[in-house]
Amino acid sequence: MIRSNAPVMEVCDNYQKQTLRSRTYITHAQGKLGLFVPVKHQKTGLRQKFEEVRTEDSFSWASNHWKSIQTAYRTSPFFEFYEDDLADLFMRDDLNLQHHNLRVIERIMALMEVDFHYTTTEKYQAEFRGQDYRHLSESKYNLRPEFPGYTQVFGTHHGFLSNCSILDALFNLGPQTSAYLESIPMHAITG
């Protein structure tokens, strides 16, 4: 996304379970820690449009995620610099998942000082003209790129843990995060 000139975000597809749209990983004292956003599933058994998916609100998952992030990154070089700008993203448990994800992307791009504009789809297209990266959101996607290493908080215990949330890079690299991302060759990500 950082290299794209106005990417098109897919907002009209069916929600698929176990994708990166509702999960990410952070580095933690025990290694990688998964942060999974629980969602309310329709009881009808019918497919649910991604734009209709709401997060579960029967327990404080967002607050728990924020506490895990604080615990994991409190000692990172740039956590305090970004903490106040990110905290509000973890204040509500009842959210529209798609809107939440777009808000997170917009906020991260702003914190990286990237001039970022996108458009959204108006209807689902099975075949997309141009660069189609929708498959990268699948958590079962076979390609798991190994990103170049950088110093992580728990790196002395676990070595570099790749494929973590952008928050990991942001808290560890700070203003250098966008340059780090731009240095990764596209073929390393897309195969």
Judge whether 142 lies within some domain: no
Q: Is the pLDDT of residue 65 over 70?
A: yes
Q: What is the pLDDT of residue 94?
A: 82
Q: What is the CA radius of gyration of the chain?
A: 17
* 3-class secondary structure per residue, the chain: CCCCCCCEECCCCECCCCECCCEEEEEECCEEEEEECCECCCCCCCCCEHHHCEECCCCCHHHHHHHHHHHHHCCCCCHHHHHHHHHHHHCCCCCEHHHHHHHHHHHHHHHCCCCCCCEECCCCCCCCCCCCCHHHHECCCCCCCCCCCCCCCCHHHHCCCCCCCHHHHHHHHHHHHHHHHHHCCHHHHHC
Task: Give the count of beta carbons closer than 10 Å to the beta carbon of residue 17.
Answer: 10
Q: Which domain holds residue 88?
A: 8-122+147-184
Mean pLDDT over 82-90 rounds to 96
* Whole-number average pLDDT of the chain: 86
Among 47-56, 67-76, 84-93, 175-184, top mean pLDDT goes to 67-76
25's tokens: 């990983």
Judge whether 161 lies within some domain: yes
Mean pLDDT over 42-57 rounds to 85
Judge whether 33 lies within some domain: yes
Q: What is the pLDDT of residue 114?
A: 92
Judge whether 109 lies within some domain: yes
Mean pLDDT over 56-73 rounds to 95
Residue bearing tokens 């907002």: 11
Spatial distance between the Cα atoms of 107 and 155, rounded to a whole number of angstroms: 26
Judge whether 130 lies within some domain: no
The residue type found at 181 is: L
- Tens digits of residue pLDDT in 101-133: 999 999 999 999 999 898 888 887 777 676 666
What is the percentage of the chain residues whose pLDDT exceeds 70? 87
Q: Categorize the per-residue pLDDT at 54 as very low, low, confident or very high, splitting at 50, 70 and 90.
A: very high
Q: What is the pLDDT of residue 145?
A: 66
Judge whether 174 lies within some domain: yes
Burial tier of 105 (Cβ tally within 10 Å: 0-12, 13-18, 19+) = middle
133's tokens: 């990266």
Global pTM value: 0.86
142 close to 190: Cβ distance less than 8 angstroms: no
- Tens digits of residue pLDDT in 1-39: 777 777 888 888 888 887 778 889 999 999 999 999 999
Count of domains forming the chain: 1
Mean pLDDT over 53-71 rounds to 94
